Amino acid sequence: MINRDKLNSVYERELEMFKDLHPKSIERFEAAKNSLLLGVPLNWMVRYAGGVPISVVDSGGASLTDADGIKYTDFCLGDTGSMVGHGPLPAAKAIAEHAYKGTSFMLPTEDATWCGNELQRRFGLKYWQFSTSATDANRFAIRLARQITKRPKVLVFNWCYHGTVDETIATLTEDGSVISRKGNIGPQIDPSLTTKVCEWNDVAALEEALKDEDVAVVMAEPVMTNIGIVHPLPGFHDELRRLTRKYGTYLLIDETHTICAGIGGYTKLHGLDPDFFVCGKTLASGIPVGTYGFTEEVGEKAKAELDALYGLVKGIGGTLAANAITMATMRAVLSEVLTPEFYERNIPLADRFNEGIHQSIREFNLPWSTQKLGTRVEYWFCEEEAKNGTDAVNSRDFELDWYMHIYALNRGILMTPFHNMAIITTAHTQEDVDKHTEIFRAAVAEIVD
């Protein structure tokens, strides 16, 4: 059993240790407060264990070095942005070449066509467009869906995350109303005007919500990953597809994270058949990117709409979308890095990471569990598997969460903040994984009776 007194005192010790180990990162963080809100360029960066982000001075493969000269095994990998590792050579070459040749023309390059063809081959959808983030790809897909269906609403699953898309930052109250998600900054309008929310895996609630035929598109990660990994129950995807078709609603599958499942994402692995498909992040090795694909039927309807609106895609896009350096990098990643061999090598290593955690769970008889998806593994501080976002939220334990993160960080391991998740990449070795196993065990041994 976890002893909370021990946990609290060891956590305090670890916080002190963090401060002793990181004087330069702390100094840089304090100095940054002069011009950066909260001392960081992106406010999420204060959410790392210790409340001070380590200041990165070097990286490569699966490691980072901070301003205090400490080297970390990086299992966060930019929360998927660097799932292919830091600076894989084919991507680095493409970036370097285009840094000299020119980066952005607002004109197509052959690499974009190559990428479109490759995305079509991998994921099965006919037409592709690009953006500078997966957030934007989701936004643009919503706009096309609304334009074609003439319906105002989107439907998302409770505690989902699809980037900072206004319509999706909504949750359910206990009485089933839709409200702005706690912590949402400056909600654009009352989200119940734009959004319906259902619990994941709840087929009856989904049908009830779609019945009114006012939903343009249902957006779903094929496995929830942003509130921890919550798998679909058997048959849920079949029902999701059946009901969206029955009520004339488009289905968007967002594989920005679940691309870790396999070469064609979860979609190919499980034979899903979405109308829209969104991905981003790692496809260009961490260069900002998003992409959205759609079926031929959607494409033909979109073309007709756009012709009628004369002129291409007013309001959908951005001058930096599909720029030359991003397209060249994506081509390099898809052709040479994110290959079948990537998954063949790294999924077994993720299994080893998972088994390492289970060794301690068994040894200390912990009421904890793990979830896995392809190259992604995470541990939970509960035994029972969450069936939906509410279960996942209710099982959170912030004391344990912060302690496990900072304990690992103080010993040279960076886990993904927000939950206890690791992503495995080709530059990770068995030794890296076994180091985590050892540190995880040591962290647990200090807080059990």
Q: Smallest gap, in angstroms, from Cβ of residue 441 to ligand PLP?
A: 30
Identify which of residues 198 and 439 has a Cβ nearer to ligand PLP in the complex: 198
Q: Smallest gap, in angstroms, from Cβ of residue 434 to ligand PLP?
A: 28
Identify which of residues 52 and 224 has a Cβ nearer to ligand PLP in the complex: 224
Identify which of residues 286 and 356 has a Cβ nearer to ligand PLP in the complex: 286
Contact present, 112 and 327 (Cβ < 8 Å): yes
Strand order in the sheet with 63-66: 56-60, 63-66, 71-74, 413-414
Identify which of residues 281 and 428 has a Cβ nearer to ligand PLP in the complex: 281
Minimal CB distance to ligand PLP: which residue? 163
Structure-token pair, residue 168: 């999706």
Q: Smallest gap, in angstroms, from Cβ of residue 286 to ligand PLP?
A: 10
Q: Smallest gap, in angstroms, from Cβ of residue 383 to ligand PLP?
A: 26
- Angle of CA points 141, 145, 150, to nearest 5°: 150
Contact present, 140 and 292 (Cβ < 8 Å): yes
Tell me how far apart the alpha carbons of residues 176 and 96 are, in angstroms, rounded to a whole number.
52
Tell me how far apart the alpha carbons of residues 188 and 333 are, in angstroms, rounded to a whole number.
36
Identify which of residues 219 and 406 has a Cβ nearer to ligand PLP in the complex: 219
**Long-range interactions of 430-438: CB distance < 8 A, separation 24+:** 430/349, 430/352, 432/62, 432/73, 433/349, 433/352, 433/353, 433/356, 434/352, 434/356, 435/73, 436/73, 436/75, 436/353, 436/356, 436/408, 437/353, 437/356, 437/357, 437/359, 437/360
Q: Smallest gap, in angstroms, from Cβ of residue 275 to ligand PLP?
A: 17
Q: Smallest gap, in angstroms, from Cβ of residue 376 to ligand PLP?
A: 11
Classify 378 as helix, strand or coil: strand
With a CB cutoff of 8 Å and minimum separation 6, the contacts of 160 are: 168, 200, 219, 220, 221, 224, 226, 227, 389
Residues that bind ligand PLP (CB under 6 A): 79, 133-135, 138, 161-163, 221, 226, 254, 256-257, 280-281, 290
Place of tokens 């809100």: 37
Identify which of residues 229 and 444 has a Cβ nearer to ligand PLP in the complex: 229
For the chain, the distance separating the N- and C-terminal CA atoms, rounded to the nearest angstrom, is 6
Identify which of residues 50 and 222 has a Cβ nearer to ligand PLP in the complex: 222
Classify 77 as helix, strand or coil: helix
Identify which of residues 180 and 258 has a Cβ nearer to ligand PLP in the complex: 258
Identify which of residues 163 and 356 has a Cβ nearer to ligand PLP in the complex: 163
Classify 197 as helix, strand or coil: strand
Tell me how far apart the alpha carbons of residues 45 and 43 are, in angstroms, rounded to a whole number.
5
Place of tokens 């807080």: 447
Q: Smallest gap, in angstroms, from Cβ of residue 226 to ligand PLP?
A: 5
Q: Smallest gap, in angstroms, from Cβ of residue 321 to ligand PLP?
A: 13
Q: Smallest gap, in angstroms, from Cβ of residue 397 to ligand PLP?
A: 22
